[in-house]
Amino acid sequence: MRLLKNEDIGNSNSKNDKKSIYLSVRTEIVIIISVFILIISPFVFNAFSGQGGKEPQIELYLSADCEAFFGRELIEKLFLEFEEQNPNLKIRLLSDFGEKDREPDVFVFDKGDFNSLIAGGKLMPLEPFPGAETAVGDNESKQLAIPIVSFMDLLFYNIELLQAAGFDRPPKTRDDFLAFAGAVSKGNDETISGFAMGLNPKDKQSLYRDIFSWIWASGNDFWTDEKSPVINNRPIIRDISFLGRVYREEILAPLSFDTTGDQLLEKFAEGKTAMMIASTRAIPELREKMGNDIFGITTIPDSGQAGKYSVGLSGIYAGINSAAAYPQAARIFLEYLAGSIPLFCAELKAVPGDVTDLFSSDYKDYMKDDPFYSKAWDIFESSQIVHGFSGKARGEEFENIFFEELKIFFESGQPASQRAADAAAAAAAAAIQQRWDEVYGKED
């Protein structure tokens, strides 16, 4: 066997040393890379898992009326708070983006639009809905919207105009009312009327505000047994006969069927109307224009038939569009709105939409020191609440029938006697009842 030479041995050792160094460096690099991967892997995992599991940004659109109801400042505050709690959801007002063909995901609407939304199948059933056990707006036992806040209709009167006509207080009875309104209308200024109605059919609050409120004030209701509406009875016929006197006697501002509620408020604020029926929602606007000493509020004069004084509530509601692209997201926002009801009440000087929520004196705190709201609250607490056709199946049909027949009755001319007026009122009630029964008897 040939022995290795010294230089061969040296070369072999050198190669082994290089190989050992190379392996050592590779090992260290692998270790460093492994440690680096271990360090950054949680961040990489979180980043990728966040991208994979994160819900896409969802934009929910609210109806434009939301701003008119609550004011820009309040809704922006609420939107910001909601988006902080739900970063994947963005709330937008439909009016801000001018998308004419797009419907809102969440409807925010008042009582006047409730039945038309139901008739159009626009509202998604909500049951069960946390925090709103009482289903205001019940349609075949399906809760279709949550009531946020409520207002009631009262008689607003101009103190100065009544004093100028010789009266130092508002009317208490219907006879008082006719006398006071007549005295103002027959005064020296022909541009001033004793009373005004806004019966423009485009104003969806008009029937409840200017007609039904008189019926409620006498303690009458169409839904005495909650099975079918009834109008053809003596108490309500008396109410209709009285309304005929109001319309035909020379106490009304002209063009009642052309006038809207907004126009009523404008004429009242200008001092052209001594009395009107309006929602307590109008109080801030009138105070801003007229001050605190020119006008007052009181109960609507009743018939004196010993019925319990009742009020109808004109509320603001929220519901989910039945065609909403993201109904679960819309429901989350609806639950947030329901939780914000105390804030809405305080800001708008209103009562909760679901009046069964009046569980404490908290809602009185923002009213008790204010002469207008404390009086409104006292009336509210002592009154019975009626809902009319709001949220009822076929409610819009019932209302339209009433309006059509009432207009015929009002414009049928001056009766020759009170007996003839009562007979005409009875005939109008019978016509309404017959058409209501036909509607109620329809099969869905």
What would the pLDDT profile of 179-219 be if each residue is shown by its tens digit? 999 999 999 899 999 999 999 999 989 999 999 999 999 99
pTM of the model: 0.80
Task: State which H helix or E strand residue 240 sits in.
Answer: helix 234-248
Report how far residue 247's alpha carbon sits from residue 85's, in angstroms, rounded to the nearest whole number: 54
Single-letter residue type at 268: F
Q: Quick one: 431 exposed, middle or buried, by C-beta within 10 A (0-12, 13-18, 19+)?
A: middle
Strand 146-158 and strand 295-298: the pairing is antiparallel
The CA dihedral of 80, 363, 307, 260, to the nearest 10 degrees, is: -30
Residue 251 is predicted with a pLDDT of 94
Q: Which domains does the chain have, with CATH numbers?
A: 58-150+314-384 (3.40.190.10), 152-312 (3.40.190.10)
- Say which DSSP state 297 is in: E
Average pLDDT over residues 61-86: 92
Q: pLDDT, tens digit, for every residue of 316-361?
A: 999 999 999 999 999 999 999 988 988 898 888 887 766 544 434 4
- Say which DSSP state 201 is in: T
Report how far residue 262's alpha carbon sits from residue 110's, in angstroms, rounded to the nearest whole number: 15
**Residues facing residue 240 across a β-bridge:** none
Residue 413 is predicted with a pLDDT of 85
Q: Cβ contacts of residue 315 below 8 Å, gap of 6+?
A: 110, 111, 136, 147, 148, 149, 150, 151, 353
- Please tell me which residue, 15 or 121, carries the higher pLDDT value: 121
Q: Over pLDDT 90: what percentage of the chain?
A: 56
Q: Are 231 and 433 in contact (CB under 8 A)?
A: yes
Q: Are 212 and 388 in contact (CB under 8 A)?
A: yes
